[in-house]
A and B are shown apart, each in its own frame.
Chain A
Amino acid sequence: MKVTFPHMGNQYVGTKVLLEELGVDIIIPPKCSKDTLNTGVKYSPESICLPLKVNIGNYIESINMGADTIAITGSCGPCRFGYYSVLQKELLKEAGYDIDVILLDPPQGDYKLFFERIFKLTGTKNPYRIIKALKKAYNVLKAVDDLEDMTYYKRPREKVKGSVDKYYDTFHKDVRMVYGYKAVSKLIQETKERILSVEEDPNRDVIKIGIVGEIYTIIEPFVSLDIEKKLGNLGVEIDKSLKVSRWLNEHLFMHPLGLSTEKETWESAEPYLKTMVGGHARETIGYAVRFAKSNFDGIIQVYPLGCMPEIVAQSILPTVEKDYNIPYLCLIVDEMTGEAGYMTRLEAFVDLLRRRKETFKGEKLLSGY
């Protein structure tokens, strides 16, 4: 059995460690590229959301490298992602790929089926081993997410443009070559030290933007057209509302136990949206409010064309913009890979934020603060 899985930002590092620690043979799909998208578009329904198309591209590229089983997670949230596993299985069958799909849905009471699937994927019935591997995988995922957070901070401040990306890109290349928890952890630690040592320019005037929106789009850099790098190079420090490690913690561990770490976010969203409307609409609004409260300079929402929950959030966000006096920009991504228009919007938004900040500073000086 050779297992593969779709890409979603740093998630592959965690999944790799989990399965390698359990001795499962894996194939990591190549980094998402134009080829991936083209393949995905060819075999997917035209009007389905973008993540599914990229997923299909990932699978087919992995199958061509010898994969015979796909492991995916599901979500119980009322959004199209809930149907991904079923739909993808059918699409691959139609395209002539007969392949096993193991779905790891959060157990909604049916723990028997959940564990059966886990036993099938992991090839062991020893829960102690599985939990140990899961813990290691979670630790690695957390460490990679922390590493990425560090790039958000360093990129706008680096003295020589591109220094952070050089180390970070190398990490993503090298991590495919090493095996298991120890080696991956070591590599993360080394990269961390390298990035930490990147020289900073103390005179940079860095502004802060909070990124909210559909989870896959904001996490997978290929789909968001490398928004973190583009903004970093424009001198912007960012933070994202959703991270893989956070999602995993929430859905796989906390949620089944009736707990949540998102209480604060939901409370922030409550004046605008009281209930869950599917996807991450509530989180999008909640985090926008939280970012505004913690003195961010602006908010950018990113979502794939046709994402219903985010459309709801999009119509609410201008109210948040007004209430908290924080500029907001909405970017919708689709199959386009032309970046000129995207860049124009980002540049103009950053310009706007800088001028605003300068004016605020001027006002403060005049009024004697």
Chain B
Amino acid sequence: MKNCYLGIDVGSVSTNVVLMDDNKKIISKIYIRTNGKPIDAVQRGLREVKSQIKEDINVKAVGTTGSGRHLASTIIGSDVVKNEITAHGIAALNFVDGVRTILEIGGQDSKIILLKDGIINDFAMNTVCAAGTGSFLDRQAARMEIDIKDFGGLALESKNSVRIAGRCAVFAESDMIHKQQLGHNQEDIIKGLCDAMVRNYLNNLAKGKEIAGPVVFQGGVAANVGIKKSFEEALGTQIFVPPHYDVMGALGCCLLAKEHAAKGNKTKFQGFDIINSGYDVKGIECCDCANMCEVIEILRDGQLTARWGDKCGKWSDLVKSDIERLA
């Protein structure tokens, strides 16, 4: 029986599951699209993990992160529920020695994390604008009918980058169309787009922050060699992309779960059986006050397991007594 730790990152675009052993070796790594159905994604992810492992394993602890971390936690029963920033920081620290700066670009958000003496010292996350995120690149690639996988490679072929306004996704797009109509070739435009995104990221998130090396670039967009190159040019320093750049959040969760188990805590993991359970989500609108909270109920095989979404806590508090009454 091998001791393992499970980490799950339920993000807006992708859901990642990582299974790690006692020696921090990764046994299984799954990257799937969330497709707006987080519960289904978690179940699919676990199913794939289960089909990949041959030996007998014993899950000692589970950690969840990402915007769907609370939902995932109620479904699988996790021991550690952590925000993405901490999870990403922990993961990078474990795989790149002495890392000082983490550039992270995901599907819907981008962040910068600064570390000092091995602890997170400062961070920033995009607030009101999505111009510098993966979704934007996805969209532009689709518009040019290029596979997003080839996007970065094409940028490297460019000899003369075109300047595109990167301040805002909407303006960037119209600027890009204008440049296309002038007859600039595709590689140059893609390179311009990469430069614009990096410029936006650095002006927006990294404003006033000191970017010291080693610099790590992770998140789904780190697969894009074009963006990596643009970062290197803008910062004038080498950029590391860790081997598991796309699942760093889930990886950080594994490490946090390992830490949790090392303290002698028992796991709340409900086992791989949950992939066979049917989950229902019911929504009710509470009309007791003008806030009209949309309360969400999670049912596992018809049994109430969790409730949230209320501002006052009235409904979430009720869950425990309701479960007892039902049982």
A interface residues with partner B (beta carbon < 8 Å): 30-31, 33-36, 162, 165, 169, 226, 305, 315, 318, 321, 327-328, 332, 334, 340-341, 343-345, 347-349, 351-352, 355-356, 359
Contacts and interface: CB of A to CB of B under 8 A. Distances in A.
Given A162-B313, A348-B86, A359-B117, A332 B127 contact: yes
Contact of B121 (A30, A305, A315, A356): A356
B125 A344 contact: yes
B196 interface: no
A348 B128 contact: no
Given A347-B83, A348-B85, A348-B86, A33 B128 contact: no
Contact of A332 (B128, B289, B313): B128
B209 A359 contact: no
Contacts of B119: 352, 355-356, 359
B123 interface: yes
B286 to A, nearest CB: 12
A341 B313 contact: no
Contacts of A334: 128
A341 B133 CA distance: 15
A318 B209 contact: yes
A33 B122 contact: no
A199 B209 CA distance: 42
A34 B84 contact: no
Given A305-B128, A348-B83, A318 B208 contact: yes
| Residue of A30, A318, A321, A344 with highest tally of chain B CB at under 10 A | A344
Contacts of B292: 33-35
A108 B289 CA distance: 42
B80 to A, nearest CB: 12
A260 B18 CA distance: 59
A232 to B, nearest CB: 13
Nearest to A318: B208
A165 B311 CA distance: 12
A211 B261 CA distance: 35
Given A30-B290, A33-B292, A165-B313, 18 more contacts: A31-B290, A35-B290, A36-B290, A169-B312, A226-B311, A328-B122, A332-B128, A341-B109, A344-B67, A345-B85, A348-B83, A348-B85, A348-B120, A348-B123, A351-B86, A355-B119, A356-B119, A359-B117
B209 A352 contact: no
Interface in B274-314: 289-292, 311-313
B291 A341 contact: no
B103 to A, nearest CB: 16
A33 B125 contact: no
Contacts of B290: 30-31, 33-36
A349 B121 CA distance: 9
Given A34-B292, A332-B128, A344-B125, A352 B120 contact: yes
A305 B129 CA distance: 12
B188 to A, nearest CB: 34
B108 to A, nearest CB: 9
B84 A352 contact: no
Interface string B119-140: 1111101011000000000000
Nearest to A363: B117
A162 B122 CA distance: 30
A88 B107 CA distance: 41
A344 B109 CA distance: 12
A327 B128 contact: no
Nearest to B293: A34
Interface in B38-76: 67
Given A33-B289, A34-B290, A318-B208, A327 B86 contact: no
Contacts of A349: 123
A341 B121 contact: no
A35 B311 CA distance: 14
B120 A351 contact: yes
Contacts of B123: 348-349, 352
B84 to A, nearest CB: 6
Contacts of B67: 340-341, 344
A355 B208 contact: no
Contacts of B120: 348, 351-352, 355
A243 B156 CA distance: 55
